[in-house]
Structure 1
């Protein structure tokens, strides 16, 4: 089955009312089940694809939190090791002070020597020495106490961070199983269709995308003329073009396979402008721009839940990692319902005006 046949999310409106050819009738006539229209099948596929993509982005978000938590655990472990080493050193210094104090008991106390001194100036010098030693001892004890408190606090933080890491690891496994189930549901529905039905669905899909693209272009939502990319945008776009033809894989960030947000985040990271990993966070955190001001390198966000993202390539086209079974490719910008667009290298202080966009098919 070609990967092209899996991209069926935008054709329900075009296919409404069209009926799939029924399976051959049995030799003995029996009541046939209600025939499903192409629109019915596409509605189910649209729902399953969106659920799979949403589950994938949830998995990606959990994976990012787990990565950050692992880094925190590593950092805290290193800090705790240093704190324990400092505590060991300060305890050693305290032990030396205690031994010195014990040794002084067997001899004449420095204070007694001060009282018995015949030379006042010499006695004063001894007083300064005694005062300095007292302050050093106080600092040593205070340093040891502070190191103990710091080591205890770091130990508690490290234990909590480790517990959080284990919790996130369990959640990641649950999210992974959720993605697999959604994809299994998609495969099951596609497997229930005949080759002829799949071919007809692909044809309707193509017509639906073409219709949505024509309407978007005619609306003027993309503005007039072509805009030049920024230097960083050009680098990001060049990277994305180099990935054309590589397979889609959910949860992947390259270099051999990508999912939708894995492709866009890696492209901008290579351009020197790191962005959030998931499409939801890219939509939530990056400055938004109206479609009429799109320039190559900008990101186009799709669906109300912001579960899909592609990179604008100019001339009404985007580069996207579509979904399981397909490869990174150039697609019409209206291949999916558009939520909006964001610009990763747009300075927040000069954020462009944002307006509602054409929703597509």
Structure 2
């Protein structure tokens, strides 16, 4: 891109200022070389990418913690039920033992029944045998319940320990996310207005070049003719209504979203439940060739599947980009595409 001498001077000054800002912010050595605007953009991309990777790990673990809380509640309920059953069976076993001691194996209420209506009662030997069998069943049930109580108690204790460990990991991911976002924001806060405009222009230029190269590859020649399914169109309609809402890591609506929060909620609105994170969406949903993608499909980005968008047709997608940005429409090929998945295959 051609520049006037004045513009070149301003660009040089901007680079020097940015270099000093990055040196202070990122703890570079005193003799570090000044950074160019492309290098500044690369550094910001790196920080935000690390934040996004940590966000998706946080989202996955957050879902796991929620499931563990539910299971722990179920186990505690089972423990309480087993304790009540154990108490009842203990009482029955004690009553049976006392009855055998007093009546030679025949409960007092049975003896009363015999005396009251002897014609309908069984003989004493048969009743004694039945009483003994009943007592044995009570004792057996008591042993089974005691074992169940121990098992459920151990499972609850193990689940609680795993829950505590995962909560600690959540805190670690949360700190990583905030550290990366804060570092990127410190870099951005030192940019002057002209530098911000130049950086934004560089981002657009890079995205446009990537999109143009993607289109030239012919990938849209057949994809452009494929219509979305009814559910896919509903997912696109949902995402379109969310345009302009801010990116917030870990958010899944209704006021803000991260990348996979938006895609999972869009498909939830279409009546299809899909995994929460971009990695799980890539791992579990059916993969389709990029040349056959249709509106509503999810485009997975980066080698680590750390970003996801919703394809809306005509080479465009809707996504929640990163902190400081809003849900927006962007060129689908403006980032490194890993692949495409279809939630309603």
TM-score range, shorter chain: 0.7 to 0.9
Whole-angstrom distance in 2 between the partners of 1:239 and 1:335: 22
**What is the deviation of 1:222?**
2.6
- Residue 247 to residue 108, structure 1, CA distance change in 2 (3 Å): closer
Whole-angstrom distance in 2 between the partners of 1:135 and 1:230: 65
- Residue 106 to residue 209, structure 1, CA distance change in 2 (3 Å): closer
1:50 maps to 49
**What is the deviation of 1:124?**
7.9
- Residue 189 to residue 129, structure 1, CA distance change in 2 (3 Å): same
1:84 equivalenced with 2:83 (yes/no): yes
1:179 maps to 177
2:340 maps to 341
Whole-angstrom distance in 2 between the partners of 1:107 and 1:342: 71
**What is the deviation of 1:153?**
0.8
The superposition leaves residues 151-195 of structure 1 with CA deviations (integer Å, 9 ceiling, x where unpaired) of 111111111111111111111111111100000111122223322
Q: Which has the higher contact order (CA 8 A, sep 6+)?
A: 1
Instruction: Count the aligned residue pairs.
Output: 312
1:7 maps to none
1:188 maps to 186
1:245 equivalenced with 2:236 (yes/no): no
Q: How does 1:138-177 map to 2 (within 5 A)?
A: 138-177=136-175
Residue 156 of structure 2 aligns to a residue whose secondary structure is helix
The superposition leaves residues 85-122 of structure 1 with CA deviations (integer Å, 9 ceiling, x where unpaired) of 1111211211221121121149999xxxxxxxxxxx99
Instruction: Give yes or no for contact 1:226–1:314 (8 Å, CA) kept in 2.
Output: no
2:4 maps to none
1:284 equivalenced with 2:275 (yes/no): no
Instruction: Give yes or no for contact 1:22–1:35 (8 Å, CA) kept in 2.
Output: no
Whole-angstrom distance in 2 between the partners of 1:94 and 1:279: 56
2:226 maps to 227
Q: How does 1:33-72 map to 2 (within 5 A)?
A: 34-72=33-71
Residue 335 of structure 1 aligns to a residue whose secondary structure is coil
Instruction: Give yes or no for contact 1:289–1:343 (8 Å, CA) kept in 2.
Output: yes
Instruction: Give yes or no for contact 1:300–1:312 (8 Å, CA) kept in 2.
Output: yes
Instruction: Give yes or no for contact 1:21–1:197 (8 Å, CA) kept in 2.
Output: no
Whole-angstrom distance in 2 between the partners of 1:33 and 1:148: 69
Instruction: Give yes or no for contact 1:77–1:158 (8 Å, CA) kept in 2.
Output: yes
Unaligned segments of structure 1, at least 5 residues: 1-17, 26-31, 110-120, 347-361
1:22 equivalenced with 2:21 (yes/no): no
Instruction: Give yes or no for contact 1:213–1:334 (8 Å, CA) kept in 2.
Output: yes
After TM superposition, the runs of 4+ consecutive aligned structure 1 residues lying more than 3 A away are 32-35, 105-109, 121-128
Residue 303 of structure 2 aligns to a residue whose secondary structure is coil
Normalising by structure 1, what TM-score?
Answer: 0.80
Q: How does 1:6-21 map to 2 (within 5 A)?
A: 20-21=11-12
**What is the deviation of 1:134?**
2.1
Instruction: Give yes or no for contact 1:223–1:293 (8 Å, CA) kept in 2.
Output: no
Whole-angstrom distance in 2 between the partners of 1:56 and 1:344: 22
Whole-angstrom distance in 2 between the partners of 1:105 and 1:282: 69
Whole-angstrom distance in 2 between the partners of 1:271 and 1:77: 35
The superposition leaves residues 214-257 of structure 1 with CA deviations (integer Å, 9 ceiling, x where unpaired) of 11112111332332222222222222122111111001111111
**What is the deviation of 1:275?**
1.3
Instruction: Give yes or no for contact 1:223–1:291 (8 Å, CA) kept in 2.
Output: no
- Residue 91 to residue 39, structure 1, CA distance change in 2 (3 Å): same
1:332 maps to 331
- Residue 174 to residue 227, structure 1, CA distance change in 2 (3 Å): same
Whole-angstrom distance in 2 between the partners of 1:132 and 1:322: 74
Larger helix percent: 2
Normalising by structure 2, what TM-score?
Answer: 0.84
Bigger CA drift: 57-66 or 180-189?
A: 57-66
